[in-house]
Amino acid sequence: MQKGHLADPEHPGSIEPVILQLKDWFQNHTHRMLLIRKQEDGDRDVVRIQLDEVGYRPNQRSIDGYVDGPKLVLHGTGAVVTGAVERPLPGERYEISLGGVELRQMDAEYVKMQSDRAQYEVTPIPSHRL
């Protein structure tokens, strides 16, 4: 599929097409409950979020020179699910790292992507399952 390296050096504010596709997919799913499965360094996280708004944060450089890569920022209420325990989503937001993102599969009801940091699978939760 497609891979995004994010910024075009000649147009610093530009966003790679693959990232625009992902952002559009999430925007098309606002006001819905989403289930996000993230696999990173052998750990698997599960998050439920009632998606209210989708934001984008480009690369940011900290004071010490560390570059924190681009992210989609999903705003809404939700929970981090660990086994039978649910904890509220910190800050009512969830960030998806986009550095080196590759879109593996996308349709109206499913997204699978791989970034430099993690693999994500996202599906809407039908309202009758809430």
Write the CATH number for 125: 2.70.180
The answer to whether 80 and 86 are in contact (CB under 8 A) is yes
Q: How confident is the model at residue 10 (pLDDT cuts 50, 70, 90)?
A: very low
With respect to residue 12, please indicate whether it lies within any of the assigned structural domains: no
Q: How confident is the model at residue 46 (pLDDT cuts 50, 70, 90)?
A: very high
Would you say residue 52 has pLDDT above 50? yes
With respect to residue 105, please indicate whether it lies within any of the assigned structural domains: yes
With respect to residue 54, please indicate whether it lies within any of the assigned structural domains: yes
> How many distinct structural domains can be found in the chain?
1
With respect to residue 34, please indicate whether it lies within any of the assigned structural domains: yes
For residues 43 and 29, what is the distance between their CA atoms, to the nearest angstrom?
26
Structural domain range at position 96: 17-129
pTM attached to this predicted model: 0.82
Neighbours of 7 (CB within 10 A): 16
